[in-house]
């Protein structure tokens, strides 16, 4: 398995790659990953991982590359020596300098081409840039096609290129053939289904850098419009081109859509990245009520995504939920404020600040009653039942759960799991009710309510809600000493927590799995796992559950 240029990896792909590294420890698999020195590879240091620093090529290796490219053509020894010296052992530069020399018209021109390089290592990129620029300039009209392709991305489809380019079909094919023959592009498949890939990211960078700002902006606008006319296009791709076209308002909308789409797929790291891109563009917008509403809507979804990535008590969560509450207070609508203060509730509760959390739940209930708004009331009860549980008022907690479930509608409140607390309120209420009933001695009710919680979570197909439900159903099973049930559910809980990277469930799942192992007679193994989970939980900053 080969992964190249890991320094450009997106968050989800990095997570997948990290898991692949973990899983091949005992398999007959060779995984090769290349990346630049500034990339911090999270798997370095593991016993089955070997790190190699690739040094610059020596004279012999550089000469071998030159000889392969020259083939049967004659290249004076002095020119070859100059290429070896000027390329400073960088393979791509060796190739590009050699090709530039071969394309020169005479030996004298070849010597002048080779002499344009710089001998100092830090000057090589600029020289490589100049060499690639010269090669592109010699391609005539094909240069414009390279520029369009570079604006689309490192890889692009023939269909998208054709819809953006202004050339005729024949002109486009001729230009693409020239770029392929020059070794700057690779083609896979046949038009119109073909895709093209720049030989190296630096080739794309050079082609893109030759565009003036106005032309670049116009080109990205054409690409964005072509993508918008198509179907099933990733919103983050559209958002990126709209941003580069300086159509900020539209770009913000599509970055937000990308974040929402990722959140609904439980790709919370991607969601965080997309929401932050939208917020960065919003900073330049005038401070109007419309701007505050948009920012609040994004922050209210960013908060739950961060909770799933870092844990409820993390500083990153606190920063966002406090900002959301501040923005919400600038608006006159109490209803718009509700998600922000509900998410602030999670941060306060997870840090053990029950008084602050109770005040927020009281505020939500008050706002819901004043507005006669069942959505806000539902979330007021959602925030109230854990506070009552935390204070030992178990009957009051059950009362809030019953009141919340009476307001809940599976379809109408589907968006709540992405807006409030990062999970579905009914799954939360049912699973915590299961634990409360076990504590109060109502075993049959506890079992029935726990089964209802997990059935609903599976039907919703929302992994964070299922993990949340498993968490508290396992607590209920532990309270009843149901070792078999806790063993089965902690297995699923840990699997999902690992799969989706949920830090708190991953920690608490180890604690509960440790209890199940110890209860089954494996005390040493169980204690070790529980201690590992407690350590992870402490690192997340969570206090209320310790």
DSSP letters, 54-107, are PPPP-HHHHHHHHHHHHTTS---HHHHHHHHHHHTT-HHHHHHHHHHHHTSSSH
Whether the CB-CB separation of 429 and 385 falls below 8 Å is answered with yes
Phi, psi at residue 3, to the nearest 5°?
-120, 120
Specify the DSSP element, H or E, that contains 185.
strand 185-188
Q: Quick one: residue 172, left, alpha or beta (phi over 0 = left, psi -120 to 50 = alpha)?
A: alpha
Whether the CB-CB separation of 43 and 19 falls below 8 Å is answered with no
> From the CB of residue 32, how many other CB atoms can be counted at a distance below 10 Å?
9
pLDDT given for residue 127 in this prediction: 62
pLDDT given for residue 309 in this prediction: 83
How far apart, in whole angstroms, are the C-alpha atoms of residue 475 and residue 482?
10
Residue 197's SS3 state is strand
| pLDDT tens, the chain, 546 aa long | 999 889 988 888 888 898 899 889 889 999 999 998 888 888 888 899 999 988 888 888 988 888 888 887 777 777 788 788 777 788 888 888 888 777 764 444 545 555 554 332 322 334 677 778 878 888 888 999 999 999 999 999 999 999 999 888 889 999 999 999 988 899 999 888 899 999 888 889 889 988 999 999 999 999 999 999 887 789 999 999 999 999 999 999 999 999 999 988 878 889 999 999 999 999 988 888 888 889 988 998 898 888 888 877 778 888 888 888 888 778 766 677 788 888 888 888 888 888 988 998 998 899 899 889 999 999 999 999 999 999 999 999 999 999 999 999 999 999 888 888 888 999 999 999 999 999 999 999 999 999 999 999 999 988 999 999 999 999 999 999 999 999 999 999 999 988 887 888 889 999 999 999 999 999 999 999 999 998 888 776 665 543
pLDDT given for residue 541 in this prediction: 61
Residue 520's SS3 state is coil
How far apart, in whole angstroms, are the C-alpha atoms of residue 195 and residue 158?
6
Whether the CB-CB separation of 94 and 83 falls below 8 Å is answered with yes
Collect all residues with Cβ–Cβ distance below 8 Å to 307 and sequence separation of at least 6: 314, 317, 343, 346, 421, 422
pLDDT given for residue 169 in this prediction: 85
Whether the CB-CB separation of 537 and 504 falls below 8 Å is answered with yes
How far apart, in whole angstroms, are the C-alpha atoms of residue 84 and residue 94?
7
pLDDT given for residue 432 in this prediction: 96
DSSP 8-state assignment for residue 157: E
């Amino acid at each position: 398995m080969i992964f190249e240029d890991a320094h450009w990896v997106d968050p989800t792909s990095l997570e997948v790659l990290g898991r692949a590294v973990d899983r091949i420890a005992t398999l007959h698999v060779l995984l090769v990953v290349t990346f630049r020195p500034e990339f911090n590879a999270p798997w370095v240091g593991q016993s089955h991982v070997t790190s190699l620093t690739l040094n610059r090529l020596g004279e012999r290796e550089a000469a071998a590359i030159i000889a392969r490219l020259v083939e049967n053509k004659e290249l004076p020894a002095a020119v070859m020596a100059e290429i070896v010296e000027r390329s400073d052992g960088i393979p791509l530069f060796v190739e590009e300098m050699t090709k530039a020399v071969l394309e020169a018209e005479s030996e004298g021109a070849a010597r002048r081409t080779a002499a344009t390089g710089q001998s100092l290592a830090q000057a090589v990129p600029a020289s490589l840039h100049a060499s690639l620029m010269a090669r592109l300039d010699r391609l005539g009209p094909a240069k414009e096609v390279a520029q369009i392709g570079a604006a689309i991305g490192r890889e692009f489809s023939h269909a998208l290129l054709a819809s953006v380019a202004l050339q005729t079909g024949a002109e486009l094919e001729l230009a693409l053939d020239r770029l392929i023959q020059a070794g700057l592009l690779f083609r896979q498949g046949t038009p119109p289904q073909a895709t093209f890939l720049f030989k190296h990211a630096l080739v794309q960078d050079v082609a893109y850098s030759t565009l003036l700002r106005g032309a670049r902006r116009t080109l990205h606008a054409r690409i964005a419009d072509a993508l918008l006319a198509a179907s099933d296009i990733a919103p983050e791709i559209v958002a990126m081109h709209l941003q580069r076209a300086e159509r900020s308002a539209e770009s913000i909308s599509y970055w937000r859509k990308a974040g929402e789409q990722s959140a609904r797929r439980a790709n919370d790291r991607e969601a965080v990245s997309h929401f932050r891109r939208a917020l960065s563009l919003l900073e330049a917008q005038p401070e109007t009520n419309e701007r505050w509403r948009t920012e609040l809507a994004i922050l209210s979804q960013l908060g739950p995504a961060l909770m799933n990535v870092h844990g409820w008590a993390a500083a990153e969560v606190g920063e966002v939920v406090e900002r959301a509450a501040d923005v919400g207070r600038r608006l006159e609508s109490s209803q718009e404020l509700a998600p922000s203060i509900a998410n602030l509730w999670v941060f306060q509760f997870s840090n053990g600040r029950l008084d602050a959390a109770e005040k927020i739940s009281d505020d939500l209930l008050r706002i819901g009653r004043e507005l006669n708004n069942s959505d806000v009331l539902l979330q007021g009860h959602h925030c109230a039942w854990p506070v009552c549980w935390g204070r030992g008022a178990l009957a009051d907690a059950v009362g809030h759960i019953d009141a919340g479930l009476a307001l809940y509608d599976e379809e109408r409140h589907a968006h709540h799991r992405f807006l409030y607390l990062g999970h579905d309120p009914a799954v939360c209420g049912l699973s915590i009710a299961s634990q409360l009933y076990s504590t109060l001695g109502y075993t049959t009710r506890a079992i029935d309510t726990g089964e209802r919680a997990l059935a609903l979570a599976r039907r919703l197909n929302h992994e964070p809600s299922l993990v949340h439900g498993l968490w508290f159903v396992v607590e209920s099973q532990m309270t009843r000493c149901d070792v078999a049930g806790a063993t089965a559910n902690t297995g699923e809980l840990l699997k999902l927590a690992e799969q989706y990277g949920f830090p708190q469930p991953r920690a608490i799942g180890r604690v509960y799995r440790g209890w199940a192992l110890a209860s089954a007679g494996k005390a040493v193994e169980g204690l070790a796992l529980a201690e590992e989970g407690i350590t992870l939980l402490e690192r997340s900053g969570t206090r209320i559950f310790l």
